[in-house]
């Protein structure tokens, strides 16, 4: 395949003449290379293909390197997913054939259609591409594609509209070109009747190339546009889909979209040549500055490498923080809806209990005189002692609902990152257990909490420690395979080390030795097929480090897992000693 394979970079636009000269030079060089040049890439490098001249989505800049919306999006996905990619831009038809033959792993921008879905698998779209019919000014407008019957229509070879016109047998005489730019130039020069191309690239090229005699006359289609892989390549598709989801959740996708496509969509236009000139000047100045600090940079390489992992963990914490913000909004609304009826029950149940107590002598007298009688469908002799118990249980259950909702609101509420609270670990653990009580009940019949009654205080943020405990308990629940397998939760004071510890032990499936050291890595999970994201333990490890603590894992396949959370004792202060025999310590289990 004679494609222009170019390494990653970014920049401005090529002029038409410079682009074709560069393409010819690169093509001539590639003809002298072995036909298996792509196969010589490292196995871990993913080859991402695209159109060499499809601005602003993807194109070659003045240095012959990839640039554009698709290219920057691909780089960002590679960064957050920790994968190596190489971007290759060439003629679109050849890129598409390269994907089909396996020389290219993924196309970074392909419009979706049902016929294409039979050959390729598509990720969720990262843009919506509008297809437009362009004509020379003064040409009568058309309403739809049927109006093209018998007309000479220019399309890009292998493009979605080329496929569609062939599949639908519209009856137009098709003229194919390698790029959108070729199609627009031919139409502007008076050749043929119409050009059917993507709207944004066509508008961009009309302005960049000075094709002032062209205008869109119809907009027949809006198509989903995103990453595509060969049919069945689910693992690769999942990587790009997950990376795109992360970028959308963090707002980075929208920033890239606004940078490249926003101004064109608003019809304001972008002064690309001026931006390219300013960029070139800025690049020159940066090169001078970088040349003066290169030695210093080398000395800092080790420190940069050591901090890279921390930055990645912080990024995942930002994702988790975004989720917690959404959870806080949801919980506030749900808590309001639950507290209203709960308040009515808490108000009315004591009144009903007193009312029954007042009515009981009258009912007893009636029972003595008239014999047994039905009350609520059951004999009064049975209901006489049941009704007070039922009312008491209802009142206790309503109070429990109110307490759980309060705990959930405290957990989801955005804190101020204050790590200076003095905390009782037993109380924090008890609150966390109440929050996940339903999950525990569904997972096991043997939940055994053991709270030490000699624990000194710790120092930190209660909500964050609760979050860690919740993650540990939920992981233990998910590890169980049968209800008769148990979970044991123990707190203790390590006097010799001036630390307190929480141990969560489950009797579940255990963890393979090669996975035990990766449990806190972002996105590492042994439960991806069940919807796990691999963020829970990563976020928990970061919170524990903030509190100067440690997380330790001990596990063997089939023998369960023990996780130990250790936190330092708070500095001495004039505070009361640890509480003993508090109600929450009398476990709900």
Residue 428 CB coordination number (10 Å) = 24
- Taking a C-beta distance cutoff of 8 angstroms, is the pair 102, 47 a contact? no
Ramachandran region, residue 218 (left: φ > 0; alpha: ψ -120 to 50; beta: rest): beta
Residue 528 CB coordination number (10 Å) = 13
pLDDT of residue 584: 39
Helices 272-299 and 199-208 cross at an angle (nearest 10°) of 100
Residues 6+ apart with CB under 8 A from 131: 160, 161, 196, 197, 198, 199, 219, 220, 221, 222, 223
Helices 199-208 and 180-188 cross at an angle (nearest 10°) of 60
Closest CA to 27 of 52, 7, 3: 3
pLDDT of residue 265: 64
- Taking a C-beta distance cutoff of 8 angstroms, is the pair 69, 129 a contact? no
- Taking a C-beta distance cutoff of 8 angstroms, is the pair 132, 216 a contact? yes
Closest CA to 406 of 312, 339, 469: 339
The per-residue pLDDT string of the chain (589 residues; one tens digit each, 9 = 90 and over) reads: 434 433 333 333 333 334 434 444 444 444 434 333 333 344 579 999 999 999 999 999 888 899 999 999 999 999 999 999 999 999 999 999 999 999 999 999 999 998 899 999 999 999 999 889 999 998 887 878 888 889 999 999 989 889 888 888 888 999 999 998 999 999 999 999 999 999 888 888 888 888 889 988 887 778 899 999 999 999 999 999 999 999 999 999 999 999 888 777 654 444 555 566 677 788 778 888 877 777 777 777 777 777 777 777 677 666 666 665 566 666 666 776 787 788 888 888 888 888 888 988 988 888 888 888 888 888 988 888 888 888 888 988 888 787 777 656 655 554 455 778 899 999 999 998 998 888 899 999 999 999 998 899 999 988 889 889 998 998 899 889 899 999 999 999 998 889 999 999 999 888 888 777 777 766 566 665 554 545 567 778 888 888 889 988 898 888 899 999 999 998 876 544 444 444 334 434 3
DSSP state of 482: S
Residue 483 CA neighbour count, 13 Å, CB half: 4
Alpha-carbon distances, residue 540 vs 329, 472, 520 (angstroms): 22, 9, 8
Ramachandran region, residue 329 (left: φ > 0; alpha: ψ -120 to 50; beta: rest): alpha
**Quick check: helix, strand or coil at residue 407?**
helix
- Taking a C-beta distance cutoff of 8 angstroms, is the pair 323, 379 a contact? no
Signed CA dihedral, 335, 337, 339, 342: sign only = negative
Distance, CA of 60 to CA of 53 (rounded, Å): 7
Residues in the chain: 589
Bridge partners (DSSP) listed for residue 230 = 120
Q: Which residue blocks in 222-375 are alpha helix, DSSP H?
A: 234-250, 252-260, 262-265, 272-299, 301-370
Distance, CA of 461 to CA of 548 (rounded, Å): 12
CATH number of the domain located at residue range(s) 421-585 in this protein: 3.30.565.10
Distance, CA of 44 to CA of 39 (rounded, Å): 12
Distance, CA of 425 to CA of 118 (rounded, Å): 57
Omega cis (within 30) before 43? no
Q: How far apart are the first and last CA of the chain?
A: 68
Distance, CA of 136 to CA of 190 (rounded, Å): 8
pLDDT of residue 253: 93
Closest CA to 172 of 139, 150, 145, 196: 150
Does this model's pTM top 0.85? My answer is no
Alpha-carbon distances, residue 57 vs 155, 258, 262, 277 (angstroms): 18, 12, 12, 20
Helix (H) or strand (E) holding 491: strand 487-494
pLDDT of residue 380: 86
Domain 16-268 architecture: 3-Layer(aba) Sandwich (3.40)
**Quick check: helix, strand or coil at residue 559?**
coil
State the pairing for strand pair 173-177/152-156.
Answer: parallel
Q: Domain segments of the chain: what residues?
A: 16-268, 334-412, 421-585
- 176: phi then psi, degrees, rounded to nearest 5: -100, 145
């Amino acid at each position: 395949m004679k494609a222009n394979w170019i390494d990653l970079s970014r920049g401005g636009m090529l002029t038409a003449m410079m682009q074709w000269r560069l393409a010819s030079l690169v093509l001539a060089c590639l003809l002298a290379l072995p036909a298996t040049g792509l196969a010589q890439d490292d196995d871990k490098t993913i080859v991402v293909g695209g159109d060499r001249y499809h601005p602003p989505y993807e194109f070659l800049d003045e240095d012959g390197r990839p640039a554009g919306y698709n290219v920057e999006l691909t780089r960002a996905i590679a960064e957050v997913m920790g994968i190596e990619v190489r971007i290759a831009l060439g003629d679109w038809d050849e890129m598409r054939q390269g994907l089909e033959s396996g020389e290219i792993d993924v196309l970074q921008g392909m419009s979706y259609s049902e016929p294409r879905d039979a050959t390729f698998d598509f990720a969720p779209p990262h843009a919506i591409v509008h297809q437009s019919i362009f004509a020379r000014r003064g040409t009568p407008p058309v309403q739809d594609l049927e109006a093209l019957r018998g007309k000479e229509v220019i399309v890009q070879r292998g493009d979605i509209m080329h496929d569609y016109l062939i599949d639908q047998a519209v009856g137009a005489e098709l003229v194919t070109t390698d790029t959108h730019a070729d199609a627009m130039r031919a139409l502007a020069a008076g050749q043929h009747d119409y050009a059917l191309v993507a709207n944004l690239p066509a508008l961009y090229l009309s302005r960049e190339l000075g094709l002032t005699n062209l205008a869109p006359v119809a907009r027949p289609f809006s198509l989903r546009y995103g990453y595509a892989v060969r049919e069945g390549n689910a693992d690769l598709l999942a990587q790009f889909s997950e990376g795109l989801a992360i970028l959308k959740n963090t707002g980075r996708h929208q920033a890239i979209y606004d940078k490249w496509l926003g101004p064109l969509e608003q019809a304001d236009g972008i002064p690309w040549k001026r931006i390219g000139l300013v960029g070139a000047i800025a690049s020159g100045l940066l090169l001078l500055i970088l040349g003066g600090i290169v030695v210093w940079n080398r000395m800092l390489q080790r420190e940069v490498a050591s901090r890279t992992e921390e930055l990645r963990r912080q990024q995942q914490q930002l994702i988790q923080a975004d989720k917690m913000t959404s959870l806080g909004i949801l919980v506030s609304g749900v808590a309001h809806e639950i507290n209203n009826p709960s308040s009515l029950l808490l108000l009315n149940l004591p009144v009903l209990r007193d009312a029954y107590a007042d009515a009981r002598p009258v009912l007893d007298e009636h029972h003595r005189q008239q014999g047994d009688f039905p009350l609520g469908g059951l004999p009064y002799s049975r209901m006489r002692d049941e009704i007070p118990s039922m009312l008491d249980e209802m009142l206790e259950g309503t109070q429990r609902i109110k307490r759980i909702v309060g705990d959930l609101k405290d957990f989801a509420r955005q804190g101020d990152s204050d790590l200076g609270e003095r905390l009782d670990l037993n109380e924090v653990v008890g609150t966390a257990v109440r929050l996940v009580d339903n999950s525990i009940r569904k997972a096991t019949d043997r939940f055994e909490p053991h709270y030490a009654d000699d624990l000194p205080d710790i120092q930190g943020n209660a909500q964050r420690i609760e979050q860690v405990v919740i993650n540990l308990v939920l992981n233990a629940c998910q590890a169980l395979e049968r209800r008769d397998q148990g979970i044991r939760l123990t707190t203790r004071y390590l006097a010799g080390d001036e630390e307190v510890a929480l141990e969560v032990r489950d009797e579940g499936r255990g963890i393979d030795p090669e996975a035990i050291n990766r449990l806190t890595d972002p996105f590492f999970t042994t439960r991806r097929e069940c919807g796990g994201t691999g963020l829970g333990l990563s976020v928990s490890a970061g919170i524990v480090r903030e509190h100067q603590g440690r997380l330790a894992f001990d596990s063997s396949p089939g023998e369960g897992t023990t996780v130990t959370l250790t936190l330092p004792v708070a500095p001495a202060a004039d505070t009361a000693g640890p509480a003993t025999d508090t109600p929450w310590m009398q476990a709900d289990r």
